[in-house]
């Protein structure tokens, strides 16, 4: 796995926040370098039958969609999940080649990167979160960095258990 640079090109707050989110995104993608299609779709943790490498990448793609498009912009939620199947984005990922899932994640991340570049960090989300607060864009960037970094740990564990590959 190739290490992605986490040192920002500038020291302002926006650059630091976006650099760390991009670092976490790039790390998730790097965890998938060279994994076989079979292993990308394989669930090996008995208590987590939906946790596959493909499922986690698709989850990250849709988590960004939810926070940027649905919560921040207030768009209609058109995610794959349903009340009956709240983790559907993880379930359906195994129906697609990993390359497609990674490409869609990269495409959506690029769109979200553009949104962040033209929006103030103090701008509030149009929809409130569970406790009724309208979080700002800064909070969403921090939350997505945490979410992506946490799932990078899951990707690390899965990859090592699947084929012995370890990374930074």
pLDDT tens per residue across span 151-161: 999 999 999 99
At 7 the pLDDT is 73
Any idea where the domains of the chain sit in the sequence? 13-163
% helix / strand / coil in the chain, to the nearest 5? 60, 0, 40
At 4 the pLDDT is 60
Q: Is 159 exposed, middle or buried (0-12, 13-18, 19+ CB in 10 A)?
A: buried
Q: What are phi and psi of 113, to 5 degrees?
A: -60, -40
Average pLDDT over residues 119-140: 97
pLDDT tens per residue across span 61-112: 999 999 999 999 999 999 999 999 999 999 999 999 999 999 999 999 999 9
Q: For domain 13-163, which architecture applies?
A: Up-down Bundle (1.20)
pLDDT tens per residue across span 6-50: 776 778 999 999 999 999 999 999 999 999 999 999 999 988 989
At 102 the pLDDT is 98
pTM: 0.93
Q: Is 38 exposed, middle or buried (0-12, 13-18, 19+ CB in 10 A)?
A: exposed
């Amino acid at each position: 796995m190739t290490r992605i640079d986490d040192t920002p090109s500038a020291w302002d707050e926006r650059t630091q926040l976006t650099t760390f989110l991009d670092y976490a995104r790039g790390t998730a993608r790097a965890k998938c370098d060279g994994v076989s299609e079979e292993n990308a779709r394989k669930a090996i943790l008995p208590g987590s039958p939906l946790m596959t490498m493909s499922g986690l990448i698709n989850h990250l793609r849709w988590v960004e969609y939810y926070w940027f498009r649905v919560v921040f912009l207030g768009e209609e939620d058109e995610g794959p999940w349903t009340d009956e199947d709240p983790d559907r984005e993880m379930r359906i990922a195994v129906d697609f080649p990993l390359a497609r899932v990674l490409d869609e994640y990269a495409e959506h991340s690029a769109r979200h990167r553009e949104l962040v570049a033209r929006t103030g960090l103090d701008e509030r989300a149009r929809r409130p979160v569970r406790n009724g607060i309208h979080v700002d864009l800064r909070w969403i960037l921090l939350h997505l960095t945490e979410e992506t970094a946490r799932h990078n740990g899951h990707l690390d564990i899965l990859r090592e258990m699947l084929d012995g590959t370890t990374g930074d």
